[in-house]
Structure 1
Amino acid sequence: MTDGRRAAEQPTGLRERKKRRTRDALLHAALELFTTQGYDETTVDEIVDAVEVSQRTFFRYFASKEETAFAVQEMVESRFLSELRQRPAEEAPFEAMRSAVLCAWNSIGEAIEETVTVELHMRTYRMIESTPSLLAAHLRRSIDLETEIAEVIAGREGLDIRTDPRPRVAVAAFSGVMRVTGQLWGHGRDTSMESLRALTENYLDQLGPALAGNWHAPVEPVTAGPALSTRQLRPRHVPNTS
């Protein structure tokens, strides 16, 4: 690399790092204020004052307060979708979703820690669930995400979600488990990503037995539950019971 090229590229790198630091500082300040004094009670002025920047700078990075509240969740969801799109084509739908979310949890903790602490992320999750306006937004975002996941699954299987209900049904079951594990983790004592990953894996492994198993038979504790039977749950193999 020539000195001229290095000199031309260095300012760009510095500018990008400075922009990243400013965005992270705004996000961290916003989440701290939301979780300590309340989302509705926090103003954009208070957020920018905490970082000593202008409102114009805030809106350069975030469209609204709501966007900051869901910024980390957006990052997690994007990582999951990226992993799902990269899963091998031969994997069954549930196997692909299960593998994608567990792979995402393997690396997302470090990414979250680069922006906010995992403990702050957990407090934010609780704050969203206890704030009516954010809970409504969370439901809306969840519906949009489920549609996007169903479209990815349908594309993998060569199906049309407008005429074939199986991708939406599969994603609805998967998403239900993810909501349960998120709530349990959010109200638990262990704030680590490892605990969330383990909880997610354990509950996903109970999906097959819960849907197709004999509930009157003895069942092992969830921490030692049987592995998910992806072959049994593969939508294209669902038997015709009519």
Structure 2
Amino acid sequence: METLRERKKRRTRESLLRAALELFTTQGYERTTVDEIAAACEVSQRTFFRYFAGKEDAAFAVQEMTEALFLSALRARPPHEAPMEALRQAVLQDWESIRETVESAVPMELYLRMYRTIESTPALLAAHLRRSTAVEETLARLLAEREGVDVDTDPRPRLAVAVFGGVIRVTERQWCLGRDFSLEAVRSLTASYLDQVSSALQGNWRTN
């Protein structure tokens, strides 16, 4: 049972997170200050730093939640599934859980807007790619453990994750360039691109 103190802390953090993402997506990440985020919630800068290490930490807070959900989903996949299929099912199977996880922190519409802001902001995109590298290493080690191989001597876990990560990056970019910014559109595009991995890598691209 959540105590009154814990509930108050959670609400303060959620309020700061919403304010940060709203400011990042409306006036720009670089132009937003910690003071402005704190002021929007009528708290001190010191209070902001109790919950977030800085602006970047706030910018990726919800994404961290969805990444943790994905890692948990991958760990739960049946052991008989091939690695690429396990990755595919982990990201696509329980889409409603992603929605619930996001909406437990911020409105889905704000999260999706922030996604596009990350793609269009050089500092955030660089941070996103850096963070993605760390997540991919975690995934590679998880796959190696799952398949009973040594990640440091067997290249397959990192190769599989590199292919998977590449597909996700293509999906993110194409979705940000499109007109449908819904969560369903992201899922549909992700499924479509993952389905083409095998033919793209092994098939003949020529039509004549």
Q: Report the TM-score range of the alignment, normalised by the length of the smaller protein.
A: over 0.9
1:26/1:51 contact within 8 Å kept: yes
| 3-state SS of 1:60 partner | helix
Asked if 1:100 corresponds to 2:84, the answer is no
The structure with the largest alpha-carbon Rg is: 1
Letter in 2 for 1:102: L
SS in 2 for 1:72: helix
1: CA distance, partners of 2:205 / 2:60: 38
* 1:193 maps to which of 154, 164, 183: 183
User: 1:25 aligns to what?
Assistant: 15
1:120 aligns with 2:110: yes
- Please give the alpha-carbon distance, in whole angstroms, between the structure 1 residues aligned to 2:181 and 2:65: 18
Secondary structure of the 2:165 match is helix
Q: 1:56 to 1:104 in 2, by over 3 A?
A: farther
1:109 to 83, 86, 99: 99
Structure 1 residue 107: Cα displacement: 1.5
TM-score calculated relative to the size of structure 2: 0.94
Q: What's the counterpart of residue 63 of structure 2?
A: 73
How many Å apart are 1:111 and its aligned residue? Answer: 2.0
- How far the C-alpha of 1:105 sits from its partner, in A, is 2.4
The whole-number CA distance in structure 2 between the counterparts of 1:106 and 1:184 is: 22
Structure 1 unaligned segments of length 5 or more: list them. 1-8, 219-242
Taking structure 1 as the reference length, the TM-score comes to 0.81
Q: State the match for 1:158 in structure 2.
A: 148
Q: Segments of 4+ in structure 1 off by > 3 A?
A: none
The corresponding residue for 2:157 is: 167
Does 2:86 align with 1:82? Answer: no
The Cα shift of 1:53 comes to: 1.0
TM-superposed deviation, 1:217: 4.4
Deviation at 1:211, TM superposition (A): 0.8
Equivalent residue letter for 2:203: G
Q: Is contact 1:79-1:104 (8 Å) kept?
A: no
- 2:180 match: secondary structure: coil
Unaligned runs of 5+ in 2: none
